[in-house]
Amino acid sequence: MPALIAGDSRYFIRRMQEGDLPAVRAIEALSFSNPWSDDTFRGEIQNTSISFPFVVVRRPGDEVVAYIVFWQIRDDIQVNNIAVHPDCRALGIGEALMRFAVAKVRGEGAAFMSLEVRQSNTAAVTLYKKLGFEVLGTRKNYYTKPDEDAFVMGLVLDQ
Ligand SMILES: CC(C)(COP(=O)(O)OP(=O)(O)OC[C@H]1O[C@@H](n2cnc3c(N)ncnc32)[C@H](O)[C@@H]1OP(=O)(O)O)[C@@H](O)C(=O)NCCC(=O)NCCS
């Protein structure tokens, strides 16, 4: 299992498994007003041809502290979900998880990565901009609870 952050032997990354769902759902409920269901996460785990769900576990204990879900359709990548447990934020885990995804798909020849984010989500927007994502446009009323527009953000993956 690869270490998530170079030189830090606490956090490791591996593919999400069905046994992770209780921990993943707990983080999801703490992170979003409109959380994904167990069935949605299960579908991502089973859709192995397109979907790439990964978790970050903390040692010792192997507790799930973060996850990411992205779709890879030919050379186009869509980040569909990312969250870090509130107790583990601002430690560099979200950034390292995004960098892991970018490096993985870049190594496989992907050309473009995109995502939607609530316009008020300063932490996520700042993280994506730090990684080189740019705002490409907006989607009106993309979110509910509360209603809000999304930024569409994209990153060209230079080979
Ligand atoms: C967005 C999220 C994944 C970031 O994860 P994190 O592990 O806390 O972030 P990191 O510690 O890796 O921070 C990396 C960078 O993100 C930005 N960032 C993170 N938290 C921030 C905050 N509260 N305010 C502003 N910028 C922030 C900074 O640029 C930071 O780099 P810096 O430390 O050099 O300033 C996390 O806040 C989260 O899980 N939020 C709830 C779920 C969510 O909104 N997901 C995104 C949906 S599109």
Domain CATH code at residue 29: 3.40.630.30
- Domain total in the chain: 1
Residue 2 in any domain: the answer is: no
One-letter identity of residue 151: F
Its domain, for residue 64, covers: 11-156
pTM over 0.75: yes
Residue 3 in any domain: the answer is: no
Contact 64, 27 (CB under 8 A): yes
Q: Is 98 in the pocket of ligand 1 (CB under 6 A)?
A: no
Residue 152 in any domain: the answer is: yes
Residue 56 in any domain: the answer is: yes
Residue 128 in any domain: the answer is: yes
Pairing of strands 148-156, 112-118: antiparallel
Residue 5 in any domain: the answer is: no
Contact 71, 51 (CB under 8 A): yes
Q: What pLDDT does 6 receive?
A: 83
Q: Is 68 in the pocket of ligand 1 (CB under 6 A)?
A: no
Tens-place pLDDT, residues 77-119: 999 999 999 999 999 999 999 999 999 999 999 999 999 999 9
Return d(Cα 24, Cα 11) in angstroms, integer: 16
Nearest CA to ligand 1 atom 5: 94
**pLDDT confidence tier of residue 126, bands split at 50, 70 and 90:** very high
Could you give the percent of the chain with pLDDT greater than 70? 99
Distance 86 CA to ligand 1 centre (A): 10
Residue 116 in any domain: the answer is: yes
Q: How far is CA 81 from CA 8, 59, 101, 112, in A?
A: 24, 23, 12, 17
What are the backbone dihedrals phi and psi of residue 108, each rounded to the nearest 5 degrees, phi first?
A: -100, 10
